Amino acid sequence: MGKRILIIDDEEHIRRMMRITFEAAGYVVGEARDGEEGLKLYGDGSTWSAVVLDQRMPGMDGLEALRRIKDSNPRARVVMATAYASIELAVDAMKLGASDFVRKPMTPETLRNAVAAALTKVTEEHPPSAQAEPGTEELPPSPTIETITMNGFSIQDADEEGHPADHHRFTVINPAGIRHEVLVKIDEELIGQVEQLRGRRLPAENPFWTARARRLLSEYLWNKGEVPPTRKLTLTQISRDELLMAERWTDDRNRFGAPKRH
């Protein structure tokens, strides 16, 4: 039996495009118009190879549908698709166990690549989401996300040795599994702006800049759907919220969600 893909999307023309794309690649395709219908079709997941799941739908949204799918089948391969995304939303989807996050409108190639990459990826079994005990608000902590995958591209931290301190190195794995080294430079003028705000220097090698460099690379892959042609990017500005974070930053790497280096 061929690989079976379940499409959950409220837009009929999007489902039609996806069906044509997958059937041309030899997949068997099923369709659902919303999250509730999708969950019924999915069942325990034993008959489906992967799911392509829209984020913004009437009623149950994609993140809730993703959570319930992973509760039914912790090894489910789910590719999220949306036109209304942010890096934060992508990270939330990864925490819930999404295999990839693709941007609408996507090309047939991007869609096929994302699903093909999801099918070959080793999935981690996320434990079923627990409900808070009566009278409490506490929930289990979310798993740490060390690799973000978007549009079929994965980002991993790379060894920083052998490069200037104001450069951060990452490994980008494209949908075909080819690895590319990408360097992100922290602009000296930006470092100076943060120094003026803080009253002391936040050196380019600080984990704060590593996180901002990773975000810049993530946004590039999300918007462009390709590895930077020169394999280099430069961080020249950050948001107001990030400036405020920089002002309060300490050398404690666990503050404000600073990533651990491997």
In a domain, 233, yes or no: yes
Task: Kindly state whether residues 93 and 198 are assigned to the same domain.
Answer: no
In a domain, 64, yes or no: yes
Higher pLDDT, 132 or 75: 75
Higher pLDDT, 31 or 211: 31
Q: pLDDT digits over 18-47, tens only?
A: 999 999 999 999 999 999 999 999 999 999
Task: Kindly state whether residues 159 and 250 are assigned to the same domain.
Answer: yes
Instruction: Name the residue range of residue 71's domain.
Output: 4-120
Determine if the pTM surpasses 0.85.
no
Task: Kindly state whether residues 29 and 115 are assigned to the same domain.
Answer: yes
The 10 Å Cβ neighbour count of residue 44 is 9
Indicate whether 136 pLDDT > 70.
Answer: no
Quote the pLDDT of residue 113.
Answer: 86
**Element housing 184 (H / E):** strand 179-186
- Provide the token pair at 62: 């994609």
Task: Kindly state whether residues 9 and 110 are assigned to the same domain.
Answer: yes
